[in-house]
Amino acid sequence: MSKIICSLYDSLHKMRLNQVSQEELSESAIIFTPHPDDESLGCGGTIIKKINAGANVHMALLTDGRTSHAQFMDSQKLADIRQQELVNASKVLGIPEESVSLMGYPDGQLHDFVDEATEQVVMLIRKLQPKQIFIPYKGEMPSDHYYTWLAVQDAIKACDVSVTIYEYPIWFWYHWPRITNSGQIRKKILWKNTIKSMLGLSLITTFNSYLNIESQMAQKKNALDQHATQMSRYENNPKWPILNDVGKGRFMDCFYRPIEIFKKYKLG
């Protein structure tokens, strides 16, 4: 039943979507990602197509990813590994290391550093003068996603520039009917998200832009594979949780769709 509902939502949603144009693909952009892997999950295929269209694309990572598996590894070691994974994934997407900014704020604590992060984002925007900015969708957890959104929004206002914003969904997808199986720890989050998303119907009313990435899917998956701490049982530890565990694989299915979707609007 849930798959039938999802298919219906997708069909209704497709009717109101506008495709990202070739002209838009060629415009310069900064991709702001709260954690290492969000960039590839949410807009990896779009980044590939923008690079292929000749766009100047910069990657900016706000947190260091140190808490994702802190119960298994020293947090600083994990932070170093995950930030390098972001650099490696960016290279696969077509972004060279010199076009990657690692801001290094502690994972899960961006709310304590939002003013400092905003200042860094201001400097980056003033330096690069992008036409487009990609940020996580405002209405989703965890908090680092929201505070990435907030820091960038405040920075744009401070810079007094006009840009096109593309909000990309990550944990938005973690709701019924997309996800039907969750562990006890995530059950409250699942139902909270389900209510917030109006049983998933907000997909239709919120996201208004899309890009077909079917031909870029293999490269996108290759970029995701660079995030080995998130995609595989690190050092063959059978207890090491991975993204494919979330919703018994149905969460990741949302990112293997032939399109990437965005909430697109002008700001400034």
Q: 108-149: per-residue pLDDT in tens?
A: 999 999 999 999 999 999 999 999 999 999 999 889 999 999
- pLDDT at residue number 73: 94
DSSP character string of 159-176: HT--EEEEEE-SGGG-ST
Q: 8-38: per-residue pLDDT in tens?
A: 999 999 999 999 999 999 999 999 999 999 9
Buried b (16+ CB within 10 A) or exposed e, 127-151: ebebbbbbbbbebbebebbbbbbbb
- pLDDT at residue number 142: 85
186 band by pLDDT with thresholds 50, 70 and 90: confident
| CATH at 70 | 3.40.50.10320
Once rounded to an integer, what is the mean pLDDT over residues 170-187? 86
**Range of 157's domain?**
19-170+207-239+260-267
What is the distance between the alpha carbons of residues 131 and 138, in angstroms, rounded to a whole number? 20
Q: 40-75: per-residue pLDDT in tens?
A: 999 999 999 999 999 999 999 999 999 999 999 999
Residue 222 has pLDDT above 80, yes or no: yes
Residue at 212 is within a domain: yes
Which structure tokens are listed for 72? 């298994």
Which structure tokens are listed for 153? 């929004």
Total domains in the chain come to: 1
Residue at 54 is within a domain: yes
1 band by pLDDT with thresholds 50, 70 and 90: confident
Residue at 74 is within a domain: yes
Residue at 73 is within a domain: yes
Residue at 137 is within a domain: yes
- pLDDT at residue number 183: 67
Residue at 94 is within a domain: yes
Once rounded to an integer, what is the mean pLDDT over residues 200-225? 97
Residue at 177 is within a domain: no
187 band by pLDDT with thresholds 50, 70 and 90: confident
185 band by pLDDT with thresholds 50, 70 and 90: low
What single DSSP character describes residue 21?
A: P
The tally of CA atoms less than 13 A away on the side-chain side of residue 53 is: 18
Once rounded to an integer, what is the mean pLDDT over residues 246-255? 95
What is the distance between the alpha carbons of residues 149 and 169, in angstroms, rounded to a whole number? 12
Determine if the pTM surpasses 0.85.
yes
Task: Identify the burial level of 257 via C-beta atoms within 10 angstroms of its C-beta, where 0-12 means exposed, 13-18 middle and 19 or more buried.
Answer: middle
CA 251 to chain centre: 13
Instruction: State the average pLDDT for the chain.
Output: 96
What is the distance between the alpha carbons of residues 137 and 131, in angstroms, rounded to a whole number? 19
Which structure tokens are listed for 174? 């973690």
Residue at 249 is within a domain: no
